[in-house]
Amino acid sequence: MFLNSKMLAVCIVALLYVSGVRAQNAASFKTDKVLLKKFEGEFKSASAQYQLLAQRLKPDRFPKTYYAKTDSLETSNSGWWCSGFYPGTLLYLYEQTKNKALLTEAHRILKSLTKEQYNKTTHDLGFMMYCSFGNALQIAPKPEYKEILINSAKSLCTRFDPKVGCIKSWDSNKPEFLVIIDNMMNLELLFWATRVTGDSSYYKIAVTHANTTMQNHFRPDYSSYHVINYNPETGAVQQKRTAQGYANESAWARGQAWGLYGYTVMYRETKDKKYLDQAQHLARFILKHPNLPKDKIPYWDFNAPNIPNALRDASAGAVMASALLELCKYADQVDGRTYYSAAQTMLRSLMAAPYLAKAGTNGGFILQHSVGHIPQGTEIDVPLTYADYYYVEAMIRYKNLNK
């Protein structure tokens, strides 16, 4: 069929309109070429650090943190909530450098992690199994990884209670059903499981959990509580409190980061606009907060009592950077650029002193100055595996956005 000139004109106008609307909505980002180039060196030095870390690990042990004063590496078994980050980081770095030693080490440690697919005592299976086997499936797939991940999703779902509308985070002997904001990070595994199996029950559980959390975990300013204690019989909220933050009513920095990342994933997986709105509200809370320092690496709690002398939490900064580098793709031009630019500042900060460790130091961890659990007095101002994981992920996201 031939187009007459009138039809051709209509088509051209329509095309121009569609591309104009697209250009108006999607943000375009100004690449910092120097930063991008630095990443290549950074992937190599991070790989060297992780090979150093690997040398110190005993069989079946996973890195937890490192204490410079005593030159001691603290490790865990595979059941610790962080066991997926070390293999996940090795795989990310292998993807970037093609250094085979990293893949060999990832294979070794994944073997020790495999049994956790049947662990029904934790809600952290998303962190443990999706950051590890999920990355492995993308980067260096083996047929058995799918089954391991499906079993992990099944184990996670055993902790879902329809009365409460949530996956239980922590077990308790008291009549309480405890859910923490961190749990938003475990839902990505469930979306994957529905995609692969065609069974929508995983998807429905993830959506129900996210909706219940949206209803109960957030304050009017969109900061989040850490822990919600539900009545296991009725599903009613019986307490809102913290465990790892400064106070029940404070905004624990990593909790804000988990929420931001979690609702960004919710939007990616469902395309339901209410999750995008939620993620943007959370981003605004973080980025406009008067206590967010200039380098955009947050204090461990936005309401820590001794700001500006409070400790920073590099892990929260790394999670936020990675989340913002995804959220910027879904937002309009103005907001997208704000998120991108904030993430860029976070990455520039993390890539320099005092956060980035000098080669050969820090027990092989990449970043310094994270905070695990101040109220409990553990992992204070130390390196942590999840700071490294989300830092490397953020660099990869930045690089991929600029391809």
Among residues 32, 60, 71, 124, the one annotated as catalytic is 124
Q: Give me the least distance between CB of 126 and ligand GLY, in Å please.
A: 12
Measured CA angle at 164 (ends 247, 386), to 5 deg: 50
Among residues 32, 171, 182, 277, the one annotated as catalytic is 182
Q: Classify residue 373 by its DSSP letter.
A: E
Report the residue number, 126 or 134, with the smaller CB distance to ligand GLY.
126
Annotated catalytic residue 381: no
Q: Helices (DSSP H) in 73-232: which residue ranges?
A: 85-97, 100-113, 125, 135-139, 144-157, 188-197, 201-216
Q: Are 57 and 87 in contact (CB under 8 A)?
A: no
Q: Answer whether the bond into residue 354 is a cis peptide, omega within 30°.
A: yes
Beta-bridged to residue 252, according to DSSP, are: 301
CA distances from 123 to 126, 129, 266 (A): 8, 11, 17
Report the residue number, 122 or 216, with the smaller CB distance to ligand GLY.
122
- 250 CB-side CA count, 13 A: 17
Q: Give me the least distance between CB of 377 and ligand GLY, in Å please.
A: 14
199's tokens: 């069974």
Q: Answer whether the bond into residue 305 is a cis peptide, omega within 30°.
A: no
Q: Give me the least distance between CB of 187 and ligand GLY, in Å please.
A: 15
Report the residue number, 134 or 262, with the smaller CB distance to ligand GLY.
262
For residue 17, give the amino acid letter: Y
Annotated catalytic residue 32: no
281's tokens: 């509200």
Report the residue number, 182 or 301, with the smaller CB distance to ligand GLY.
182
Q: Give me the least distance between CB of 254 and ligand GLY, in Å please.
A: 5
What span, in angstroms and rounded, lies between the C-alpha atoms of 27 and 344? 15
Report the residue number, 105 or 182, with the smaller CB distance to ligand GLY.
182
Report the residue number, 47 or 370, with the smaller CB distance to ligand GLY.
370
Q: Give me the least distance between CB of 382 and ligand GLY, in Å please.
A: 12
What span, in angstroms and rounded, lies between the C-alpha atoms of 168 and 246? 23
Backbone angles phi, psi at 65, to 5 degrees: -160, 180
What residues make contact with ligand GLY under the rule CB under 6 A? 182, 244, 254, 372
Q: Give me the least distance between CB of 319 and ligand GLY, in Å please.
A: 9
Q: Give burial (CB, 10 Å; 0-12/13-18/19+) of 312.
A: buried
68's tokens: 């410079």
| Catalytic residue list | 124, 182
